[in-house]
Structure 1
Amino acid sequence: MPCISSFYGLLIYMYGDDHNPPHFHINYGGKWSVCDFDGNIIDGELPAPKQKLVSAWAEIHRD
């Protein structure tokens, strides 16, 4: 799975043709989470400040 972005210790990964619903994966401190394209966590957890960064990233990269 390719890393498409990295910031503040967050690593964002995404497959081009992964299963539905559309989502991306986040690695933070060796722990994995899965978010939808709105930045909502589907699986796993992140500290609240990091969740806000991921939501902002999702908003900026929505297109």
Structure 2
Amino acid sequence: MPVVSRFLGIIIAMYWDDHAPPHFHAKYAEYEITVNIRTGVVEGKFPKRALRHVLEWYEIHREELIENWELCQNDESPKSIEPLE
């Protein structure tokens, strides 16, 4: 599980052989969600405050996430993305 960012106890990851549509995984304690990179649709459960942080980070780094998805689909390591400050 390539971790692309960590902030505020949240881990953001992408998998090399993951299925479409393009998405990333976010984990926080026992919670886990996936976020569709193209639409922002969230699947799973997350505390409201942590979800707001993930969605804010997603809006800032959407283009980098698309690039990382393409890298993963080509069996290449995704690049690290700056954490939310």
Q: Does the pair score TM above 0.5?
A: yes
Q: Any residues of structure 2 matched to 1:1-63 within 5 Å, and which?
A: 1-16=1-16, 18-37=18-37, 38-42=39-43, 44-63=44-63
Higher strand share: 1
Higher helix share: 2
**How many pairs does the alignment contain?**
62
Unpaired segments of 5 or more residues in structure 2?
Answer: 64-85
**SS in structure 1 at match of 2:25:** strand
Q: Report the aligned-residue RMSD.
A: 1.5
Detail structure 1 runs of 4+ shifted over 4 Å in the superposition: none
What is the distance in 2 between the residues matched to 1:45 and 1:51?
Answer: 9
Unpaired segments of 5 or more residues in structure 1?
Answer: none
Q: CA deviation at 1:35?
A: 1.2
Please tell me whether Structure 1 or Structure 2 has the larger radius of gyration of its CA atoms: 2
